[in-house]
Every structure is written in C-alpha cells, then in structure tokens.
Structure 1
Amino acid sequence: MAIISPATSPVVRIPGLFSTLLADLKAPVAPGQPAHRFWAKVIGKALFSNSTHCVILFRISHALYRFLPTRPLAFFVRMLAVAWGGTDIHPGAQIGPGFCLVHSMKIAIGAGVVIGRDCRIAHGVTIGGDMGRHPWDRSSDGWPVIGDYVTIGVDAYVVGPVTIGDGAIIGTKALVNKDVPVNGIAVGIPARVIKTHDGYEGLLGR
C-alpha cells in the first residue's frame, strides 16, 4: 500500500482523477469475461448503480475538498451522495483507486480515514475515529488505516487507531478495534483474527 506517514497525517498516493474513476468503474465487475460483456457491465453500473454513483460523487467531493475556496462545494456534493445513495463519506477521507461499494446504504467513513486500493465494502459499514477524540482531529493517531485489497462485510465497524493489513477480510457485524494482520480474517465483537488466507491476489474476483 502506497502510504506516506508524516507526523500529522498519512497520505495515499492516488493517481489522476480520470484513471482513478476508471478503476472505480471497473471494480464492481468481475474480469475474465469477454471484453464486450465486461464493458457493457461497466457502463451499466455507471448508469444505473447507486453504489457506483456514490463513489463518483465522493471522488468529486474529494477533489473539491483539496482547495479551500471550493471546500463548501465538497460538502454539498457529499450531501448529494447521502440523499442519493445513503452513503456518507467525508470529503477528506483518502481512498485509493478501485473502490467498490457492494451496496451503498448506511455506509459512513470519517474524515481522517485512509483506505488503500481495490477495497470492497458492503452496506452498513462504519469506518471512523475514536469517539473519545475531537472529531476535527485528523491526525494518524485516531483513525483507521486500511490496506489494499481489503474486504469489509455487512454492518461491520472499524474504529479508532487501527491498521488493517493488505488482503484482510472483516466479517459481517464485526467490531474491529485492534490491528488485523496481512491476509487476516477477523470476526466477532470485539473482532479477533481466526485465521489467515494464502493471499489476496484475485481474491475479490476482479
């Protein structure tokens, strides 16, 4: 996972907006099928999927958030995503390309969250900081850092200063408040790692 970790805030090296959006549009569609069918599904998702629309709206809001004069517009676009698809992602969150929302409803991602590339998130997921801290504190100490190729199941919670390793799988309704290793599978309340899988390459069906 390409992360810089200065004293104040981690940063994901995200490529240009166009290439990031292209990766996002392709993320929900399984590869390995004829090209015409693959791209037809990509276009269909872009036109008719609320989840894909919410990812696109987040990319727009994040781009606007980076510049102080356009920051109010970023929060307006965020509001559109909440109204349209039930997804509340703070424009300041840093999310790598290939971001896939399986279903958009009831997803909340906080301001200081860092998510790597090709991550897959189901509905009802909350990823946020330690509620004991000030909500405007976006230091790396209080927010989750999630690696590449991570899958987070339905109604799971990832809270506080935890690190989720590349390829990890977070089970349905898990409450993650401790680190999860690379390729770890975590379930339960609070979540515990029950085993690790062999590797995340190809795991998500992309």
Structure 2
Amino acid sequence: MTIMVNVVELSEAEKGDVLNTALDICRSEGYENVSLTVVAAHAGVPAEVLRRHWPSASALLIDAFRREIGAEFLLTDTGDFAADLRAQLTAVAKVFTDPGVAPHLTALIADMQGSPDAAAVFAERVFGPNRFMARARFEKAQKDGQIRADIDLDAAIDLTFAPLWFRLLLPTGPLDQDYAAAIAELSVAALAPSH
C-alpha cells in the first residue's frame, strides 16, 4: 500500500517567513547548525515542503541572505561611472563588515568548496545575476567613453571587485568603506581612457 503525502506549496509570505527563520537560526546558532529539518521545525513547515523549494540548507541561506542584502549589490547607473562604482563598492564593504552577514557568508563560501550543489546555486542566484548587472554597467561606461574601449571587460570587473572578496575571505587588512573607495578610485584610474 502506497501512502500519498500531500505536499503543499508555500505562499510568498510563507517563503518569507522560512527565509527569516533560517537567518535567525544562522545568526543565533551559527551557519553550521542550520539544516532544512531545523528550519522546518522552527518555521512550522514540513521538511518535505522545504526540500521542494531548496535542495539544501546552503541553498536556503543563499536565498535568505540574497533577499536581505541583495539590494546592496545593485550597481546603479546615474551616468557617472566613477560615482556609481564608488557607491557600490562602499555598499558591498558595508555588507562584508556586517557581523550578522560576514561570518556566515565566509562559511557559505567555504561550504561551496566541497559542495557542487551549493556552488551551483550560488552561481545561479548570486554570481550570475550580479556579474550580468556589472557587465551591463561596464559596457555602458565603455560606450559612454568613461572607460577604455580596448579592455577585456571581464578582467576589468574582476580587477574591481576581487579585492573586496579577497579581504573578506583572507583578512589581510581592513575591509571598510575607505578601502572600498580607494579600490574604486584605483579601478577608475586604471580603466580610464587616455587623453
């Protein structure tokens, strides 16, 4: 005899509650203590339902942090590439120094090294969209003559953003808004067209 389990879908409000619950557990008990079973118990949702939406606790936390801090990673277009880059890098530095985010983000990145599933979710939901957005902004700056026409845009994006990730993962020096502003200034100078 087969028992049919009625697995319900989560409403957007319920998904939001689950994401908030996952963040609360992560911040109070640590990244390593978050599991779909624990989140399900705290959120009052069957674990099977969570598994339909998130293949792992890391995928759930990626969505939870993305929902909370994703707006900080938006690269705006005011028409002034240097100002836009400085604003974004300082916003990222603020996130990367937030004690409610930084240690959990570094734990997630460490987890991704041994988990192809977590790495795939991060690439799909965080890296890919952010890279697409950054590339579009850099292309526009190139078209507007604010950065050199002869550069590899992917290399330029890496040059600009990698120092912040480096300092997040290997605390070799301060990672603050002054550092981010200095990186933005150096990047803009390196990418500027010669006159």
Q: Who wins on radius of gyration, i.e. which is larger? A: 2
| TM above 0.5 | no
Using the size of structure 2 for normalisation, the TM-score is: 0.25
Using the size of structure 1 for normalisation, the TM-score is: 0.24
